A = this chain, B = another copy of it.
Amino acid sequence: MALVSVEECRRAAQLALGNVGADAEAAQLQTDLLLDAELRGVPSHGFLRLERLVTRIGNGVANPQTRGVHSWRGDSFLSVDGQQGLGPVVASHAAKAAGARARQTGIAVAAIANNNHIGMLAWYAETIAEAGLVSIILTTSEALVHPFGGGKALLGTNPIAIGVPTDAGPFVIDLATSLVSMGEIHDHAHRGAALPEGWALDADGKPTTDPEAAKRGAIAPFGAAKGYALGLAFELLVTALTGAALGRDVTGTLDAVKPASKGDVFIVIDPLSGQGAALAAYLDVVRQTPPVPGFEKVLIPGERGRARKAERLVSGITLADPVWASMQRLRDAAPAGGARS
């Protein structure tokens, strides 16, 4: 493992993206999203993804120049053709436009197709909440999750994030509708550790505790039938709004060669004023609930990640050696097409 300062990580990722044609703003936004995941302790959405992204740019399935094409289908409905742009670049421009419109009309939605992986949703929800707006954010992914009672991966991990501004700062949840992430399966595989029962099925739809078999199989939905229902509803809702591919037709968030065919939805709402103090006071009451045996205290979602972020901004980030080696290699590579922009 390598302990690297935030500034050194940031610089390496930005230069790596610049080397393959990203301009300064695009390189910064994409880097911010990867960095934020590392800071909050979600390395599956961190710099691990940089090399594949650079390869995708080289392969012509990620365009580091575009911001996406915006068309308003109604005063409050923004359709975005992501033109295979960098996920965070297209998504944050779309979210900003939806937020500005929500301040006028009360609510607006941005529905994005043809966009690369947008990274950790918490980043957007927090940014939007810091601007005083409520958000509901959905994005779909390659099919990795089996239906409740079914033996085959047919659903994306289909996460949801919700952000609500309060007087004590943004309240943010960000959770996949799978029981665990594919990153956790890979982590068990690396460590040669068995999976807990109930996490995964193998390629034949049989329960397995072997992480290698799980990689070729399917992850369980969280919360049994209810989590399955939510994941399925998000898959349908996102496609209804964006025209994205469904189920096993979704490509481009895990591979290096196929266009990204999933969808992203940002619903942004201008809340009532004057509720921020009540929301913060209620969160305090929840935080102070007497814990049950086995728990030290009741946690508010998002706060552990935020504490980790504050810590790592100072201490730096611990990266797996191959990840940091790859970042340095990409940083020091010759710029594509000659000059660095």
Contact = CB atoms under 8 A, between A and B. Distances in A.
Interface residues of A, number: 83
B150 A298 contact: yes
A106 interface: yes
Contacts of A104: 74-75
Given A134-B241, A289-B150, A106 B76 contact: yes
Interface string A261-285: 0000001011110110011001101
A290 B150 contact: yes
Given A77-B270, A223-B222, A246-B282, A298 B148 contact: yes
B107 A267 contact: yes
Nearest to A294: B149
B164 A236 contact: yes
B279 A239 contact: yes
A243 B272 contact: yes
Nearest to A241: B271
A249 to B, nearest CB: 9
A269 B151 contact: no
B162 A237 contact: yes
Contact of A76 (B107, B165, B201): B107
Contact of A223 (B223, B240, B290): B223
A195 interface: no
A67 to B, nearest CB: 21
Contacts of A236: 164, 166, 171, 279, 282-283
Secondary structure dominating the interface of A: mixed
A232 interface: yes
A155 to B, nearest CB: 8
Contacts of A109: 106-107, 269
B232 A272 contact: no
A207 B292 CA distance: 9
Interface in A119-145: 134, 136
Nearest to A78: B106
A73 interface: yes
A230 interface: yes
Contacts of A232: 173, 286, 300-301
Given A111-B272, A136-B136, A146-B292, 17 more contacts: A75-B104, A76-B105, A76-B106, A77-B105, A79-B272, A134-B237, A149-B295, A149-B297, A154-B286, A162-B234, A223-B226, A232-B301, A235-B282, A239-B275, A240-B272, A240-B279, A243-B275
Interface of A: 72-77, 79, 104-109, 111, 134, 136, 146-152, 154-155, 160, 162, 164-166, 171, 173, 175, 201, 205-207, 222-230, 232-237, 239-243, 246-247, 267, 269-272, 274-275, 278-279, 282-283, 285-286, 289-292, 294-295, 297-301
24 contacts: A73-B106, A77-B105, A136-B136, A146-B289, A148-B298, A149-B295, A149-B299, A150-B290, A150-B295, A151-B289, A162-B237, A165-B240, A175-B226, A175-B230, A201-B292, A205-B290, A226-B227, A236-B279, A236-B283, A239-B279, A240-B275, A241-B272, A242-B272, A247-B286
